[in-house]
Amino acid sequence: MSALDGVRILDMTHVQSGPSATQILAWLGADVVKLEAPTGDITRQQLRDIPDVDSLYFTMLNCNKRSITLNMKSEQGKELFIDMVQNADVLVENFGPGAVDRMGFTWDRLQELNPRLIYASIKGFGEGPYTHYKAYEVVAQAMGGSMSTTGFEDGPPLATGAQIGDSGTGMHAVAGILAALVQRNSTGRGQRVTVAMQHAVLNLCRVKLRDQQRLAHGPLAEYPNDEFGEDVPRSGNASGGGQPGWAVRCAPGGPNDWIYVIVQPVGWAPIANLIGRPELAEDPEWATPKARLPKLDKMFQLIEEWSSRLSKWDALAQLNALNVPAGRSSPPRS
């Protein structure tokens, strides 16, 4: 894409949250110049599978960028940095709090060098008691509310497989940077953009925040849980939305022989016919969403009795042929 053609990004980020943001900007057409310490981004050497080459971890987050090393502890390095800042549109960093300030480049100083500069920072936490806490992917998931609501009722909090703490924060940073670029068209000035990993995860947990507020009015009927306390419970594979959903097993019963099925009001009759229970489409005890709500576990058990005799491919095809929302469990290899 060339939407950001002519926009130059100075990328002082490392590991994942920052590089994922600048990579999106590069894919959108920006000229991203990655500034690395003389030792290089630490992820060049992390999780290497082949000796003496950059790791896949590094290349998958930093492809489509240019890269130079810069010693910000030397006067020559700082002079080069000043020259680049004066010719850049955006500076992005995800160092620990205050690191760039200690290099001698406060926001005030950067504004003096380039009033049009957009300066984006990604941190673990916003202003408050956790400002100086270190954050990694699952730390952000824990502090942002994701872990407490992920897993089954009788098990521990679980991390998600998706990188919502790192790459999820990177996407939030991209949105802020793009908004600042648009606003600069009218103001002629740059601005600060700050994103915290905890806040990004919290924003991605907005459905659970909704349910936290709803708890004040009583138990959440669409959840499979038997008991409710003061906090939104972990509810396994329940969709947590207006349309009930669950994962059901398929043949031959391997670790990913599962499909996820959503039962919309309009989809119940086709499902009832498909699973060989057409009488349930008209049965007052089953015919409406309200009637099915107290027995969602039984409903998905009936669906699983049907799906367990089919491969996930066949079950998926038959459900989608009836316009029933369903998806197979897809490992990364596929």
DSSP 45-86: TTT-SSTTS--HHHHHHHTT-EEEE--TTSHHHHHHHHHHHH
Residue ranges making up the domain that contains 144: 8-203
pLDDT one-digit tens code per residue, 3-40: 999 999 999 999 999 999 999 999 999 999 999 999 98
pLDDT of res. 126: 96
Question: Are the C-beta atoms of residues 22 and 65 closer than 8 Å to each other?
Answer: yes
Burial zone of 141 (CB within 10 Å; 0-12 exposed, 13-18 middle, 19+ buried) = buried
- Please give the full DSSP string across 1-36, using - where no structure is assigned: --TTTT-EEEEE--TTHHHHHHHHHHHTT-EEEEEE
Flag whether pLDDT at 330 surpasses 90.
yes
d(CA 230, CA 211): 11
| Domain identity same for 119 and 251 | no
- Residues catalogued as catalytic: 166
pLDDT one-digit tens code per residue, 147-171: 999 999 999 999 999 999 999 999 9
| Domain identity same for 118 and 191 | yes
pLDDT one-digit tens code per residue, 61-115: 999 999 999 999 999 999 999 999 999 999 999 999 999 999 999 999 999 999 9
Question: Are the C-beta atoms of residues 116 and 89 closer than 8 Å to each other?
Answer: yes
Q: Cα dist. 138→93, 97, 171 in Å?
A: 20, 19, 17
Residue 231 in any domain: the answer is no
| Domain identity same for 184 and 293 | no
State both tokens at 270: 């086709």
Flag whether pLDDT at 333 surpasses 90.
no
State both tokens at 104: 């001698």
pLDDT band of residue 241 (cuts 50, 70, 90) is: confident
Instruction: With CA atoms as reference, report the closest residue to 200 among 125, 308, 309.
Output: 125
Residue 228 in any domain: the answer is no
- The predicted model scores a pTM of 0.93
Domains of the chain: total: 2
Q: For the chain, give the mean pLDDT.
A: 96
Mean pLDDT score, 225-246: 92
